[in-house]
Structure 1
Amino acid sequence: MTAIDTTTDRPAPSKPKVSQFRRLLWHVNRTDLGWAIKAALTTLQLPARAKRIELLNRLPSKPEWSEASRKLAADGYVDVSELVDRSLAEAVAAVGEAKVSRLNELTDKQQLGHKSFWVSLLDEDLVNGAFATDHPFVRYALQPAALRIIGDFMHDLPQLSDVLLTLSQPTPNQALSYSQLWHLDHDDKRVCKLFIYLTDVRDTADGPFTFIPAGPSRPFRNTLKSHMSDAQVFAKTGPDAVKEMIAPRLSSFIVNTARCLHMGSRIQSDHNRLLYTATYIQQPRIFPEPPPRFRAAGALTELERAVMRL
């Protein structure tokens, strides 16, 4: 795909204000103290957790899914390209390609505009900030393979927090920023992201998702730094620990981004990368629950309602 100029004269959107309580909680959650908060919240909701586990156990189980869950727990990541539903992935890709064909129009409408190196392409699909549950991006995230692999790792039915479609593009002469720098995700103590490459990622020029597995990432577990440079990271791990997800279109993988230090979107000239992301956390959420991200459309199972908190 050829890079497209999306420069406009729109003013940058202002950042939402963050309460002091939430800011404090965010810093606490960066440390092992966050586990104490998580345990306390879970203890207050034991009946609800028992019900979620019951629902998780209703999902089908396969040996290859169990092995994927074991690898996710041990290494912090797993390639699930051969385990997920190919037809659902193709449906996601069709939506993504249709969005890219209207790129300039959608760029003007995007709500998340603070990252100059990527464009969020699903904003027009939201109604009052929520996706319909029959949206292909939501259906992909709800497939049994994904829920079972992540659920067995979490020992709990995961909560689907968000789905996202982003087109990463080159930003020549701009310093690396935000998720182009090394970081951990602190949405909660356990955060798993399910990705699909919707374009081929052939080499480093395509800006692959790049990470350090859970073991070598351990020295950064209690760091209060938000984003770190290569030099800061390699001083503790060395570059040999780094893994780049070089893979063809429709490759799908799961990463525990709360444990695996990661970065991406370092796109070089004349390249770009279209990426699907679904984010899951383990209930109960440490932070105050945000407004609903999903709205019911059609019949839903009890399990699906629990996953999306509907």
Structure 2
Amino acid sequence: MPSVTSVKTLARDLVRRHMDRSSRPFRILRDRHEFSARRRAAERLDGAQSPYLAALDETGFVQFDGSPILVRELVDASRRKLAEAEALPQRGNKPFFSQLLSAADRTPASVFLRFALDEQLLKLVAAYLRCAPFLNSVELLYSKPMGAGPMASQLWHRDRRDLAIIKVFVYATDVEPANGPLTMLSKEESRKVPEYLPHYLDDEQVGRYASLDKAAALTGPAATTWVVDSENCYHLGSRCERPRLAYVAFFDSGFGYRPRESNWRALAPAADWTPLQRYALGLE
């Protein structure tokens, strides 16, 4: 039988989810002209991203083949950041994570921002979200073995930040099962898990409703790129026996359940930035 503490925690979690979701219509109403413009920008896309879009629509995740030159530059830069790191600080309440990027890595000249602004990637994200996306964050996450049981995002969860969310993972190291790959349940399987459960769920809790044997471990050699909907798919990662280094870009509609994580307006806009790139930075 659940303890009083766990029931109270779940009640607070459910109330917060409701409050987060109810804030979205007010954000849209406040900035309705921008919201409409973002929708129109997505409607004008040329359809070249459709092979990826079909798989993303069906399952909620797809392997993406971006520019090989840009991906290799990103992987090399990621490895240099790890080699140069003087410390590996804990990221938030997740001791198994270290976030290695600084403000200097979030400038127009940096490959960490340039990759997230790749036009073909933005077109795919826009087509899936059905609006020109907003780039909430770019991170370089070093996952390390902890020797303890899974916790936080090592457990099954959904990100619960918008109607749909796209996260783009680029592996900077080879990722095999021992490296704690991002592991996804499809949208179909995820819908079987009731909404009233806690945010983080262990294997046994999820297995009561969904088929864990259908979970997809997204492995691959360095430079493998995965595009995933972390809102509508239950997922977990970083259950590491060996370290993992991954770049992560996070996109949503710009009108999610919470305020935008990043303010890019201090960036000097480049003359050749496309409308989608400007929308991604909130400059349009």
**TM-score normalized by structure 1?**
0.79
The residue number in structure 1 matching 2:199 is 226
Of 182, 186, 189 in structure 2, the residue corresponding to residue 216 of structure 1 is 189
Q: Aligned equivalents of 1:48 and 1:37: distance in 2?
A: 17
Farther-moved stretch of structure 1 (175-184 vs 283-292): 283-292
Of 281, 292, 309 in structure 1, the residue corresponding to residue 263 of structure 2 is 292
Q: Aligned equivalents of 1:169 and 1:163: distance in 2?
A: 19
Task: Give runs of ≥4 in structure 1 deviating > 6 Å.
Answer: 22-25
| Aligned-partner residue type, residue 112 of structure 1 | R
Alpha-carbon deviation of 1:182?
Answer: 0.6
For residues 191-270 of structure 1, the aligned pairs below 5 Å read 191-202=165-176, 204-220=177-193, 222-268=195-241
1:74 aligns with 2:48: no
Of 112, 134, 142 in structure 2, the residue corresponding to residue 137 of structure 1 is 112
| SS of equivalent to 2:161 | coil
Distance 1:182 1:160, change over 3 A: same
Say whether the 8 Å CA contact 1:29–1:186 is kept in structure 2. Answer: no
| Aligned-partner residue type, residue 245 of structure 2 | L
The residue number in structure 2 matching 1:306 is 279
> Gaps (5+ residues) in structure 2?
1-11
| SS of equivalent to 1:106 | coil
Alpha-carbon deviation of 1:299?
Answer: 1.2
Q: Aligned equivalents of 1:132 and 1:224: distance in 2?
A: 40
Of 116, 124, 131 in structure 2, the residue corresponding to residue 149 of structure 1 is 124
Q: Aligned equivalents of 1:133 and 1:58: distance in 2?
A: 25
For residues 269-284 of structure 1, the aligned pairs below 5 Å read 271-284=242-255
Q: Aligned equivalents of 1:262 and 1:303: distance in 2?
A: 28
Q: Aligned equivalents of 1:45 and 1:254: distance in 2?
A: 28
- RMSD over aligned Cα, in angstroms? 2.5
Alpha-carbon deviation of 1:43?
Answer: 4.9
Q: Number of matched residues?
A: 270
Distance 1:44 1:79, change over 3 A: same
The residue number in structure 2 matching 1:27 is 17
Q: Aligned equivalents of 2:267 and 2:60: distance in 1?
A: 32
Q: Aligned equivalents of 1:152 and 1:192: distance in 2?
A: 11
| Aligned-partner residue type, residue 111 of structure 2 | P
Say whether the 8 Å CA contact 2:136–2:261 is kept in structure 1. Answer: no
Farther-moved stretch of structure 1 (297-306 vs 246-255): 297-306
Percent identity between matched residues is 26
Alpha-carbon deviation of 1:102?
Answer: 2.4
The residue number in structure 1 matching 2:74 is 92
**TM-score normalized by structure 2?**
0.85
Q: Aligned equivalents of 2:207 and 2:264: distance in 1?
A: 37
Distance 1:216 1:247, change over 3 A: same
Q: Aligned equivalents of 2:179 and 2:265: distance in 1?
A: 31
Distance 1:140 1:294, change over 3 A: farther
